[in-house]
């Protein structure tokens, strides 16, 4: 094997390094006391941002605004996704860029996973639903592309429709139910065919065991 050959996995390690450096620096800035140590932590954070800027092509100030914009101990964000079925088909919503996804989004700080899932479905699909089963809790960067520069826990929830109808809104332009073998162009950063299949499996199972990374 050619030792100089760089695999795709190797080429993505820079992202892990930058994320870890940023996280360590953020923790140090939050809990450090010594002025000299704080200067070092700030410089480490700047190095992490410079790495991200060089590798992604985004300007340094933009990277800092999205990559180095939090204080305190760094924790993952939570993204909830609702799986709603009708006659053996799953509901997907069409976004304004033409791709399709399960209804969902960032979990608001004052809402539980159940409450946020119900809210997102109402906002994006116009439906009132009951959240009935936790399907999975996944580390986004292990399943979705492209990799993000911060941690995300994706939570998939099986839901049952109560009432309502779709109304076009700021985020979505249509909704439709799809069979597993006839999925549209998916927003892969939000849901993959494998994740959609997982939701079908959860719907069909009499006793489902929650999947988690």
- Cβ neighbour number for residue 184 with a 10 Å cutoff: 13
**Low-confidence winner among 147-151, 182-186, 194-198 (lowest mean pLDDT):** 147-151
Domain assignment present for residue 55? The answer is: yes
Domain assignment present for residue 35? The answer is: yes
pLDDT at 53: 87
Does pLDDT of 38 surpass 90?
yes
* 165 and 194 both lie in a single domain: yes
Decide if 83 contacts 161 (C-beta within 8 A).
no
Bridge partners of 186, per DSSP, are 100
Which domain, by its residues, includes 82? 77-212
* 86 and 188 both lie in a single domain: yes
Residues 172-193 have pLDDT tens digits of 999 999 999 999 999 999 999 9
Q: Is residue 4 very low, low, confident or very high in pLDDT (cuts 50, 70, 90)?
A: low
Token code pair at residue 61? 């100030």
pLDDT at 15: 82
* 30 and 133 both lie in a single domain: no
Domain assignment present for residue 167? The answer is: yes
- Whole-number Å distance between alpha carbons of 117 and 136: 13
210 CA to centre of own chain: 18
213 CA to centre of own chain: 14
The position carrying tokens 């200067």 is 39
Residues in the chain: 213
pLDDT at 1: 47
Residues 44-99 have pLDDT tens digits of 999 998 998 888 788 888 888 878 888 898 889 999 999 999 999 999 999 999 99
Residues 104-121 have pLDDT tens digits of 999 999 999 999 999 999
pLDDT at 10: 65
* 122 and 190 both lie in a single domain: yes
* 92 and 39 both lie in a single domain: no
Out of 35-44, 53-62, 146-155, the most confident range is: 35-44
Domain assignment present for residue 155? The answer is: yes
* 82 and 46 both lie in a single domain: no
* 86 and 63 both lie in a single domain: no
Domain assignment present for residue 72? The answer is: no
CATH number of the domain at 93, please. 3.90.79.10
* 100 and 177 both lie in a single domain: yes
> CA end-to-end span of the chain, whole Å?
32
Does pLDDT of 3 surpass 60?
no
User: Considering the chain, what percentage of its residues have pLDDT values greater than 70?
Assistant: 94
Domain assignment present for residue 4? The answer is: no
Domain count, the chain: 2
**Low-confidence winner among 20-24, 98-102, 194-198 (lowest mean pLDDT):** 20-24
* 53 and 106 both lie in a single domain: no
Where among 48, 67, 86 does a domain terminate?
67
Which of 190, 203, 174, 204 has the alpha carbon at shortest distance from 83? 203
* 136 and 48 both lie in a single domain: no
Which of 173, 177, 179, 189 has the alpha carbon at shortest distance from 94? 173
């Amino acid at each position: 094997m050619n030792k100089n050959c760089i695999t795709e996995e190797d080429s993505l390690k820079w992202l892990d390094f930058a994320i870890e450096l940023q996280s360590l620096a953020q923790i140090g800035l939050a809990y450090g006391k010594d002025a000299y140590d704080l200067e070092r932590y700030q410089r480490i954070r700047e190095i992490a941002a410079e790495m991200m800027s060089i590798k992604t092509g985004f300007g340094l100030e933009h990277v800092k605004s999205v990559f180095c914009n939090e204080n305190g101990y760094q924790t993952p964000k939570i993204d909830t996704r609702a799986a709603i079925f009708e006659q053996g088909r799953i509901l997907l919503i069409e976004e304004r860029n033409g791709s399709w996804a399960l209804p969902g989004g960032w979990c608001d700080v004052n809402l539980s996973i159940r409450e946020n899932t119900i809210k997102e479905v109402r906002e994006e699909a116009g439906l009132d639903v009951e959240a009935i089963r936790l399907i999975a809790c996944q580390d986004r960067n292990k399943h979705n592309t492209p990799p993000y520069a911060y941690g995300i826990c994706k939570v998939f929830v099986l839901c049952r429709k109560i009432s309502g109808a779709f109304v076009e809104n700021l985020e979505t332009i249509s909704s439709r139910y799809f069979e597993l073998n006839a999925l549209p162009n998916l927003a892969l950063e939000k849901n993959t065919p494998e994740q959609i299949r997982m939701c079908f499996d959860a719907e069909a199972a009499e006793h489902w065991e929650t999947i988690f990374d």
